[in-house]
Copies of this chain bind each other. A is one copy, B any other.
Amino acid sequence: MTIKIKESPLFWPAKLKKDTLEVLDETLIPKKLHYIKVKNTAAAVRVIREMKTRAFGQFLVVLSIFLLELDRNKGLSEEKLLAKIRDIAESLNKSRPTFPFAEVTGIVVRWAIMAIDSGVKIRPFVKRNLQGYLESIRIKRLERVERIAALINDGDSILTHCNVSGELAMAAYICKREKKDVHYFATETRPYFQGAKLTCWELGQMGVPVTLVADNAIGSLMADRLVNKVIVGSDRSCANGDFANKIGTYQIAVTAKLFDIPFFALTQPSDRIRTGKDIPIEIRQADELIRFEEKKIYRGKVDGFYPGFDVVPHELVTRPIPIKVSENE
């Protein structure tokens, strides 16, 4: 029996429509499903900088905007087109300085250079490569959804943190169709509440039961054996299996280890990052911690410290569920 996968909007949150890249505004979920129309690199930089899209969405926007710009700049000479591609890459790299967009934009620049070196036209060569690359990522992620579904058993109670960009919700949908009785716990994921806003919403869309818990409750859930598996995503993963993910993942991993609760991480191992020590951690604005939407949580004089991510050493991972997204595997 093959089950048709129901796609979560968070799985592929940016779509090319003729001269426009439509980017899901994740900041409005769960209030509404709204797509921002992105027409050029400057607009792409804006949605990234303002974090309208995040995690896999940012990666997707970075790659897709090249496709859009290649079509927008049809009159340019080969030399000027290469310069243009370099400019776009540079702008994207600067959009979030601590983010490794250069790894991704570098791929596109290298394709353009490869085209020149091989004496073929840049535009069709880079476009074909980009489209093939995106399609291969899509297929690998869909395959991973099936692998996630396969490791979820009837009767499981699964804890997740932050948001896994569609894959966990889609796996949950498959499990539901396979009549597996599974419960999900989503952490709130302070300060931004991605668990409350994104994960609960997309599991709800899949018709799957989900319970929201405070980030503080994970120790209690595990001590009381209310969860028997943990599945989390990763923002960056290393050759040795270490990975960085939304702040809070580390203490979940530590506590899961203590109780021998299997801990699975969806990774995209990079050959360029050897170990967790090589991952720079973005320190975000204290204000994001002190405000909730427009409301100040704390009115007095206080500093806030908000590391965006933490690093989980590979020893705490029961089994990674990797996909390779490098261009030259």
Cβ of A278 within 8 Å of any chain B Cβ, yes or no, is no
Q: Which residue of B lies closest to A281 (CB)?
A: B220
Instruction: Scan residues 132-187 of chain A and give those whose CB is less than 8 A from a CB of chain B.
Output: 185
Contact: A299 with B31, CB < 8 Å?
yes
Q: Which listed residue (B212, B290, B299, B305) contacts A290, Cβ 8 A?
A: B212
The chain B residue with its CB closest to the CB of A304 is B212
Say yes or no for A125: interface residue by CB 8 A criterion. no
Interface window among A64-72, A77-85, A250-258, A260-268:
A250-258
Question: Is there a chain B Cβ closer than 8 Å to A200's Cβ?
Answer: yes
Asked whether any CB of chain B lies closer than 8 Å to the CB of A120, the reply is: no
Which residues of B are found within 8 Å of A221, using beta-carbon distances? 305
In the assembled complex, A114 has its CB within 8 A of some CB on chain B: no
**A275 vs B290: C-alpha distance when bound (angstroms):** 37
Q: Is the CB of B214 within 8 A of A191?
A: yes
Q: Does A216 contact B (CB under 8 A)?
A: yes
Chain B residue, CB-CB nearest to A310: B220
Nearest CB in chain B to that of A197: its residue: B298
- The interface size of chain A toward B, counting residues with CB under 8 Å, comes to 55
CB atoms of A215 and B214 under 8 A apart? yes
Query: Quick check: is A196 within 8 A (CB to CB) of the other chain?
Result: yes
Q: Which residues of B contact A196 (CB under 8 A)?
A: 290, 297-298, 302
Residue on B nearest A200 in the bound complex, by CB:
B302
Given the known inter-chain contacts A193-B297, A302-B204, please indicate yes or no for A212 contacting B254, CB distance below 8 A: no
Does A238 sit within 8 A of B, measured CB to CB? no
Most interface-central of A204, A211, A216 (chain B CB within 10 A)? A216
> In the complex where A197-B298, A254-B255, A298-B30 touch, is A190 in contact with B211 (Cβ < 8 A)?
no
> How distant is the Cα of A212 from the Cα of B254 in the complex, in angstroms?
22
Q: A305, B248: Cβ atoms under 8 Å?
A: no
A219 touches B (CB below 8 Å): yes
* Minimum Cβ distance to chain B for residue A181 (Å): 16
Contacts of A188 in B (CB 8 A): 190, 289, 297
A219 to B189, CA, bound (A): 14
In the complex, A292 has a CB within 8 A of chain B: yes
Q: Does A300 contact B (CB under 8 A)?
A: yes
Q: Are A214 and B190 touching (Cβ within 8 A)?
A: yes
Contact B303 A211 (CB under 8 A): yes
A189 touches B204 (CB 8 A): no
Q: Which 7 A-B pairs have the closest CB atoms?
A: A216-B248, A219-B251, A219-B250, A220-B310, A190-B214, A211-B303, A200-B302
A residues near B (Cβ < 8 Å) are 30-31, 185, 188-191, 193, 196-197, 200-201, 204, 209-221, 223, 246-248, 250-251, 254-255, 258, 281, 286, 289-290, 292-293, 295, 297-307, 310-311
Can you list 9 A-B pairs, Cβ within 8 angstroms, ordered by A? Answer: A188-B190, A193-B298, A196-B297, A204-B302, A214-B248, A215-B215, A217-B305, A251-B255, A254-B255
